[in-house]
Amino acid sequence: MWKSRTGINTPRNKIPQPEWKRWHVIEDLIKTRGWTRGIELGVKNGKTFLHILKFCKEMHMTGIDLWEPHESNLPGTNWDHKKNLLYVESLLGQLFDFNDKRFDYNEDRYKLIKGRTDQAHTQIDNKSANFVFIDADHQYGAVIRDIELYEPKVTDAVIGHDIDWPDVKKAVEDHYGDAYTVRENDVWVHYL
């Protein structure tokens, strides 16, 4: 039995545990491995991107998203891309206090690229980041393509989301075999 400061006794196994989300896993990896630069493919409304910039003060993040409807979009979703991009920009504004420029501000902490992942890769130098987080198009061919295009850009790890999706799992295993680990919230990690 665990005695809390309030005096209420709760069995240890009944204490609610905080649920780890993908951004907590990446924060943990960044902090334990001392990473300073990352790339996120598929930013959407910035849940992961903004969490990293807020809680990992040494980090520079590059985020790539088309922020427009496109054929490669995830099935079953009908996102408001305009709203998502405005939301990311407005929260970045609160975080960094910029006022007018778009897309090229605060280059010392982040860069947003509005485009397809299979085109935007040309804007990123090889071995210029510690990790890439792949979370854009979840179709088999697209995940393979993102792995192949972005692995050369990083030095430490290729990470992705939704390993519970059959297409994602098949792509990861066709490329890496069993050389990957699964973390909380269906995050997969291949260390280079």
Ligand X SMILES: C[S@@+](CC[C@H](N)C(=O)[O-])C[C@H]1O[C@@H](n2cnc3c(N)ncnc32)[C@H](O)[C@@H]1O
Instruction: Point out which residues bind ligand X (CB under 6 A).
Output: 22, 40, 42-44, 47-48, 64-67, 72-73, 81, 116-117, 135-137
Task: Give me the least distance between CB of 124 and ligand X, in Å please.
Answer: 13
In the complex with ligand X, the residue whose CB is nearer, 60 or 116, is 116
Closest CA to 184 of 64, 19, 50, 38: 19
Chain position whose Cβ is nearest to ligand X: 42
Torsions phi, psi of 3, nearest 5? -95, 115
In the complex with ligand X, the residue whose CB is nearer, 7 or 18, is 18
Closest CA to 63 of 34, 103, 20, 30: 103
Task: Give me the least distance between CB of 168 and ligand X, in Å please.
Answer: 11
Q: Reduced to 3 states, what is the DSSP secondary structure of residue 152?
A: helix
Closest CA to 57 of 108, 17, 116: 108
155: which 2 tokens? 């030095």
Task: Give me the least distance between CB of 37 and ligand X, in Å please.
Answer: 17
In the complex with ligand X, the residue whose CB is nearer, 2 or 68, is 68
